[in-house]
Structure 1
Amino acid sequence: MNLRNVALALQRSSSTSQTTQNEIQRTRDVVPHSDFSPSGIASPTITAWNTVGTAVDRHRKLAIDYEHVLKAVRKQRGFEDFLHAPKIKTLLPSIEHLDGPVVFINVHSSSCDALALSPNGGIKRIVLHRLTESQAQDLRSTWTRFLRSSGLRMRGAVSIDRLISKRTNMLGVVLERVWTWIVHPILEALNFFDDTPSRSHRLPHVTWCPTGPLTQLPLHAAGIYDRPAADRLHVYDHVVSSYTPSLAALLRCHKQPGTHQVYHPNVLVIAQPKTPGYAELPYTRDECERLRAVMPKYAHTVLLDKQGTVEHTLAAMNYHQWVHIACHGTQDAVDPTQSKFALYDGPLTLGALMTTVADSAELAFLSACQTAVGNKNIPEESAHLAAGMLAVGFKGVVGTMWSIYDADAPIVVEAYYKRLHKLRKSKKPGIIPPGYTGSAYALHWAMKVLRERVGEQNFVKWAPFVHFGV
């Protein structure tokens, strides 16, 4: 909580008592010296830390006085809901501008179900009768165990071709169960099977907000792949998928100003073909060249190899609407804020990105690995690089759930930016709804291109790419 902003807002409120303002001010003065997290806010009655016996006593006192300050603030006119979760009715003006349903999937020992929030504010509960909490955990465990044992946590680290024949069946079973137990019942309840759009029509857009063990599963790749081609069932044949860490994050992304009216946004490209201490990624050069060829009229800033330092990257982000990062990336399971991009002179961490203000930011393409990996230790939180990029101000982010094959990245990047450029310059109404970027549909097309190249049963090659935001 930013107490400085709270104090300023209260000062501007005519209903705020001087006593409450003084309490907030004194709280601000005490908290910076505390060893505790922001959840512990000091009391105005505390005159010195040495009056409290133990750390446990101090923490208990802070917790009590935190509630005291909250109650004092909430008594002021206009601050009644301060730090409360917003009521759905207050969000309706923003929700009605969404271009499709947001689906929240809950996993619990008592029941598993989904809540589909429609743009008109309607909420539909969908009971997932065939899914249990233990089954969801088993699916997550099977999937993540495969990724760990196969080394699919680093871009280009293994020859994925070697893995396909051995483990396709296991991965296919996981994706089939995700389809049968989770995705199919949801799409059926939302009537997305009634009329499959023709080639000339736009597929509907679904934004997934999974919880618990489902945060680490590729819902966007669910389907049945072991049937004859004509009988196969895939989620991507019926909807375009995006993800969001929360409804609040999605609505924040939608509200942020974009560059839809800007025909040629500035593009920052960071590529690391030879990062010290990491395996070489020679195809990152090809990736950069294809991107520049697809969008020759766009203003580019390219930080290649030694130019791609942490300082240069952070400074340049403030002056570019689009950012493309091609390098190694890793998830820190112990401290997610230390998840990082491997740049030439050191790591660019999520923690560092959180301090970056990107007022003009719109799109980020994270062509690295583990940029959208959940953490089983904090399953309800999306503390990964893709979510971090949304938090610092980007409207849409493309990330990866596991390793991408170095040679495949240029194919995806070329198809993605070609499609995005085509969508952005289209004069046809409704191609890109207000507040959206077109990024989800561009990635959907790029995945189709890659599947046609590598085969749809090579899940490990095309399925890691995911879209977050709008």
Structure 2
Amino acid sequence: MYRTARDGTALAEAVEVLERASNFPRDWWTTPQALGRQAEARMLQATHDQQAVRLARGMAKMFPEAVDSRPATVLPEVARELDTAVELGRRALAFLAADDPRRCTALSVLAVVLSGRAEFRETLEDLGEVIALLREAIATGPADSPDQPIWRTNLLATLLQAHAADACPTLLDEAEALAREAAAMTPARSAAHARALVGLANVLNARDANGRETTAERLALLFRAHRAPALPLIERFHAAREAARLAARLEDWATAADQSEAAVDLLVHLIGHQLVVADREDLLAEELEVAGFAAACSLHLCDPMRALRLLEQGRGILLKRMTETRRDIAELHRQSPALAEEFTRIGAALAMVGGETALYGSDLDEHRLTTRSWEQVCEKIRVLPGFQTFLRYPVPEVGALTASGPVVVVNVSSLRTDAIVLADGRVWVVPLPGADSVAMVGRLTTFDQATDDVHASDLSAEDRMRAAAAIGDTLGWLWERIAEPVLGSLGLLAAGLDASGEGPLPRLWWCPTGMLSFLPLHAAGTYSARTPHGVADYVVSSYTSTLNALHASSTRPPHSRTDAPSLLVVATPEVAGQRPLTRADEDAGALAQLFPGASVLSGPQATREAVLRELTTHSWAHFACHASRDRWGRAANRLLVDDGELSIHDIAALTVDAELAFLAACGTAAGALFLADEAQHIASAFQLAGYRQVIATLWKVTDDDASEVTMALYRQLRAGVPPAEAVHSVTRSLRDRYPRSPWLWAPYLHVGA
């Protein structure tokens, strides 16, 4: 089950069961097999848990010039676990005599474990032994053993690794022979046959990586593999994605678009509810830019609507899974009350599990059955008239979506970077060749460090000035390479600047993808000259994670502006392990005076239970607290309250009808880098909970700066200024006062309608 769906809970359960089975008496028939399988399971678990290594290597595949593929250190506990797995495999083999029929299986298992360790270490140290073990298994095992094709495909994969190191042509000859043998000895519709086809495609690629002699055969092999129903979804996905990459290298954009679309479909299906959140995150971390690559292929075919559809389908997958079970099904109730009741019942069962808690045993089995029932009821619903796209997230109608202003989707991929502009019911593409993905990652790396260094009191003044210059350089780069071409295509630059700064500016929604989502497009501009000049001079910027998220927030009826908002203020001036927020209580008191009747939870009152309870009864919420953000890990995106923390899952699980959340904490609109396309951060969690608009930050802000922005914003909000315009007004005023200090005003942004 782990190999099929990357289900980490199933793998953990397997290790536990196999540990018990391995302790049975040595002379029992099952003991050597249990030892061997435990070795394999431990190897898989060690590499499954080693997220940092896989992340670095995955990013290196996309951006080899910008990212070092080798982490600074290999975590010793993972290395020890792999060594333990190898030792278990050796013990299993030692239990068996040379003529024991189980020996060939033990040889194969030890080879698999050694291969896993070699891949983790990124060395060739174990490969020679792996090759010898698999050759022995093939030679000594029964000719009609169903494992013969498996041993052959494992051996050919190892030979390809060895060939990559020394380019010995005889290794490729042997690998090709093994692939063709494995294909010949397996039924055409079996998973083993499909794996043999993939192996043969890999061999041909090694022979002809940059040529076209075997292109047609390679594409045909991969196409057959990804369409093989017997092959596990993860392997079908990899086959489709590799076919898309191959076609793209050959500039066969029609094939690349079709294959990359198939990869998106398979990834979405694979991520489904059967995985706990941690496993979904791990899988998405390994598979970078799937939707962006597919969209880029469609743009090569001059098909922006297809590109938008793929971006909607393949991005924000985790966020969609959080909200599917809460879908408004009033129309479904009218058409089929029985299906609506079934959907609601199964959705409630799914919502109770599969969050951050792993399941085991009968609970896990029950969850899998519930997941299958969920998929079946969704298929039944899609048969109904008008429900063909139920939970499929098509592109919203462009005219309605752009009624309040243009929407700009910036797609960043290793193939190309483009802005897809939606305005006045039309869609067009602005190519952005100067903002390629490698340059983007380089800029982000520098910018991300600079936003930390500029506030670092332990750094010298010279180092902080260097950080300030890096921030300014990045904003200038964003203006020149992205924002200026986009605004020009909209005709906004030709209108010129209103020197007085008066009069309403048009609204514009940014929808960045990939690593661009961590950079402040709304603040792009040149600020070193005497006159500041940037995006804020032409438009009022807002953000959305996807087009469907914007559609959902814009179609939700806003709260009446004539009614005074019911404001909840959460202030945690002191939290264990964090520096004190000296202005938090002061701001809470000022907001209580500005909004009579506001509810204030401060210090010990701001408990998890109290905050979650009060959020459901207020239309506005303000947080003056710390937030944790781990750029690389799953610990990201948590608000720290007096007795613990609120995760994005805690927040998103709420169901509220609310208008505005102001998250005056650090990095509340930025998630983990390894989930760049998921927009999985605190701000998006509040949107999922039911907040129509969110004000948040992209990086670290100081207590004093946040306090000044907070009070200026709320004075405008109290006067009836809409949140997006208030954020624009306050940050532009600060920009005009401190143009060369963008870290003071650029972190703040508006999300939503």
- TM-score scaled by length of structure 1: 0.79
How big is each residue's C-alpha offset from its partner over 1:259-285, in whole Å with a ceiling of 9 and x where there is no partner?
A: 233341111111111123321111112
Q: Is the 8 A contact 2:698 2:747 kept in 1?
A: yes
The 2-side partners of 1:160 and 1:288 are apart by: 32
1:95 has 2:401 as partner: yes
Residues 175-214 of structure 1 correspond to what in structure 2 (within 5 A)? Answer: 175-195=475-495, 196-197=497-498, 198-214=500-516
Q: Is the 8 A contact 2:619 2:659 kept in 1?
A: yes
Q: Is the 8 A contact 2:454 2:468 kept in 1?
A: no
SS in 2 for 1:86: coil
SS in 2 for 1:325: strand
Percent identical among aligned pairs is 30
Q: Is the 8 A contact 2:454 2:465 kept in 1?
A: no
Residues 37-436 of structure 1 correspond to what in structure 2 (within 5 A)? Answer: 70-89=378-397, 92=399, 94-95=400-401, 98-118=403-423, 120-147=424-451, 150=453, 162=461, 164-195=464-495, 196-197=497-498, 198-227=500-529, 229-230=530-531, 232-293=532-593, 295-296=594-595, 298-333=596-631, 339-359=637-657, 361-424=658-721
How big is each residue's C-alpha offset from its partner over 1:132-160, in whole Å with a ceiling of 9 and x where there is no partner?
A: 12112222222223345x386xxxx8589
How big is each residue's C-alpha offset from its partner over 1:77-116, in whole Å with a ceiling of 9 and x where there is no partner?
A: 3322222232544x64x425x4211110011232211111
SS in 1 for 2:668: coil
Structure in which a larger fraction of residues adopt helix: 2
Residues 434-453 of structure 1 correspond to what in structure 2 (within 5 A)? Answer: 438-451=722-735
The 2-side partners of 1:352 and 1:83 are apart by: 23
AA of the residue aligned to 1:307: Q
In the alignment, structure 2 segments of 5+ residues that lack a partner are 1-320
The 2-side partners of 1:244 and 1:140 are apart by: 20
SS in 2 for 1:412: helix
CA 1:342–1:161 in 2, change beyond 3 Å: closer, same or farther? farther
Q: Is the 8 A contact 1:264 1:299 kept in 2?
A: no
Q: Return the offset for 1:301.
A: 0.7
CA 1:24–1:467 in 2, change beyond 3 Å: closer, same or farther? closer
The 2-side partners of 1:403 and 1:75 are apart by: 49
CA 1:126–1:273 in 2, change beyond 3 Å: closer, same or farther? same
CA 1:279–1:418 in 2, change beyond 3 Å: closer, same or farther? same
Aligned length: 423
Larger Rg: 2
CA 1:451–1:225 in 2, change beyond 3 Å: closer, same or farther? closer
AA of the residue aligned to 1:421: R
How big is each residue's C-alpha offset from its partner over 1:436-458, in whole Å with a ceiling of 9 and x where there is no partner?
A: xx1111111221343355x2211
AA of the residue aligned to 2:672: N
In the alignment, structure 1 segments of 5+ residues that lack a partner are 38-47, 50-54, 425-437
Structure in which a larger fraction of residues adopt strand: 1
The 1-side partners of 2:382 and 2:734 are apart by: 53
SS in 1 for 2:581: coil
CA 1:34–1:351 in 2, change beyond 3 Å: closer, same or farther? closer
AA of the residue aligned to 2:702: Y
How big is each residue's C-alpha offset from its partner over 1:401-430, in whole Å with a ceiling of 9 and x where there is no partner?
A: 111111112211111111222234xxxxxx
Q: Which residue of structure 2 aligns with residue 457 of structure 1?
A: 740
The 1-side partners of 2:351 and 2:619 are apart by: 34
The 1-side partners of 2:735 and 2:348 are apart by: 57
AA of the residue aligned to 1:345: D
Q: Which residue of structure 2 aligns with residue 469 of structure 1?
A: 752
CA 1:6–1:352 in 2, change beyond 3 Å: closer, same or farther? closer
- TM-score scaled by length of structure 2: 0.51
Higher relative contact order (CA 8 A, sep 6+): 1
CA 1:204–1:369 in 2, change beyond 3 Å: closer, same or farther? same
